Amino acid sequence: MLAGYITANRTSLARIKNVNGEPIISQFTEFDNSLFKGFDSILSLYLRQNKGTNSVACFGIAGPVIENTVVATNIPWKIDGAMIQEKYKFSQVKICNDLVTTAKGLFELSDDKLFTLNEGREIAGSNYGLLAAGFGLGEGLIFYDGKRYHPYASEGGHAGFTPGNQLEVDLWEHLYSNLGFIEVEDVLSLKGLIRIYEFMLSSNRATKADWFKKAKDKASKIIEYGLSGQDEIAVKSLDLFVDCLASETANLALKGMTLSGIYLGGIIAPQIITALEQGKFMERFLLSSKMEPLLAKIPVKVIIDEKIALKGAGTIAYELSK
C-alpha cells in the first residue's frame, strides 16, 4: 500500500505495512515540489527508489476532488487517480482532499499529539470539526451515522471573510482594494499573515522592519517576532490573526454543531500555541450573543503531529485493501 500527502511546497510519500492488523508507515520520503514538473515525476522516482508491490494507494491534497481527480488549489498540478492506477498498475487509487485524510488520521492520534485550548465536554456520537491553516485554509467536518464516523471536506476556506469589529472592517477594506472579493483563506493562511502585517504597517503608519525586508520566510519571522514581543507590529499582527482564526473556528463549530470537538490542524496553529493559549483565542471563540453557552462546552484542541494527513491517507489505503 502507498500513502501520500501533497502540500504547496512538498510531497510526502510512504509505504503502509499491515502489522498485527494496524497500518504502519515505512519508507517515508519527502520531496521538494519545486524540483519537479508534477506529481507524476515524484511518484515515478519514489517507486523506483522504494521497490514493492503496488496494490492500493491514497493521496491527500488541498483542492476539490471530483470523480477521483483534483486540480490542486495552491500548486499548478492535476492529479488523476485513474491515470495513476493504470500507469503504475495499482489495483485501486483514491484521491482525497487533505482535510479528509487529516480527519482519518485524527482517530489515530495519542493524547500527547494534542494540545487542549478548551476542555469542554465531548458529546459522544456528535460531529467533529477540523480547520487547518497553512498555505491555504482547509475546513472539514466528521459526522456520525450511528455506527461509524465519516469525514468530508468542504471548500469553506474560500467563503467570504466576515469582519467581526472595526479593525477587521478596516482590514477587509485594505484587502478589498488589492484583491476584490476577500476569501477567509486570504486572511487565515501564511500569505494572509503577511497581508495582515502589511495592513498593520499601513494603519499604524510604520515602516517595514529590516528583519521583514530580509526574511525569506516572512510569515515565520512575523510569528517569531510576534511571539517574542520584539516587534510591536508583529505582535499586533499575530493578535489580529488569532482573533480572526478564533472567529472562523466558532463559525465552523456552529455550522457543523461539532459537539464532539473542533480541532486546529495545519502548519500555523502548532507554531502559535503560546498565543492561542493566552486566553484571547477562547475569548473571541465564545463571542456570541446567543450561542456562548453552547460554544463553551465544545472541546477545542490543536493537532501537533505534522504527519497526521499522511497517516490518515495510510489508514484509508489500509481500509481499501481489506
pLDDT given for residue 147 in this prediction: 87
Of the candidates 280, 285, 9, which has an alpha carbon nearest to the alpha carbon of residue 131?
Answer: 285
Closest by alpha carbon to 8, among 212, 198, 219, 156? 219
Buried b (16+ CB within 10 A) or exposed e, 262-273: bbbbbbbbbbbb
Both 213 and 262 in one domain: the answer is: yes
**What is 22-51 written as a DSSP string?**
EEEEEEEEEEEGGGSSSHHHHHHHHHHHS-
* Residues 116 and 212 grouped into a single domain: yes
* Rounded distance between C-alpha atoms, residue 320 and residue 126, angstroms: 25
Residue partners of 314: CB distance under 8 A and separation at least 6? 1, 3, 14, 16, 23, 25, 58
Do residue 92 and residue 74 come from a single domain?
yes
Same domain, 207 and 278: yes
- pLDDT tens for the chain, 322 residues: list them: 899 999 989 999 999 887 876 778 889 999 999 999 999 999 999 999 988 777 899 999 988 999 999 999 888 999 999 999 999 999 999 999 999 999 999 988 888 999 999 999 999 889 999 999 999 999 999 998 888 899 988 899 999 999 999 999 999 999 999 899 999 999 999 999 999 999 999 999 999 999 999 999 999 999 999 999 999 999 999 999 999 999 999 999 999 999 999 999 999 999 999 999 987 899 999 987 799 999 999 999 999 998 999 999 999 998 888 7
Residue ranges making up the domain that contains 296: 110-304
Looking at the fold, whether 211 and 162 belong to one and the same domain comes out as: yes
Neighbours of 178 (CB within 10 A): 11
- The residue written with cell numbers 474560500 in the block is 158
Same-domain status, 202 and 289: yes
- Tell me: do 317 and 296 sit in the same domain: no
Give how far the C-alpha of residue 47 lies from the chain's centroid of Cα atoms, to the nearest Å: 27
Same domain, 237 and 285: yes
CA pair distance 193, 186, nearest whole angstrom: 9
Give pLDDT, residue 161: 96
pTM: 0.92
Sign of the Cα torsion 127, 128, 133, 134 reads: negative
CATH number of the domain to which 12 belongs: 3.30.420.40
- Are 130 and 242 found together in one domain? yes
What does the CA dihedral 204, 210, 212, 213 come to, rounded to 10 degrees? Answer: 110
Contact 156, 139 (CB under 8 A): yes
* Same domain assignment for residues 193 and 213: yes
Question: What's the total number of domains in the chain?
Answer: 2
Whether residues 97 and 219 fall in one domain: no
For position 135, which CATH number holds? 3.40.367.20
| HSE-up (13 A, CA, CB side) for residue 139 | 22
pLDDT for 152: 87
Provide the pLDDT for residue 110: 87
97 with 166, same domain: the answer is: no
Beta partners for residue 160, in sequence order: 183
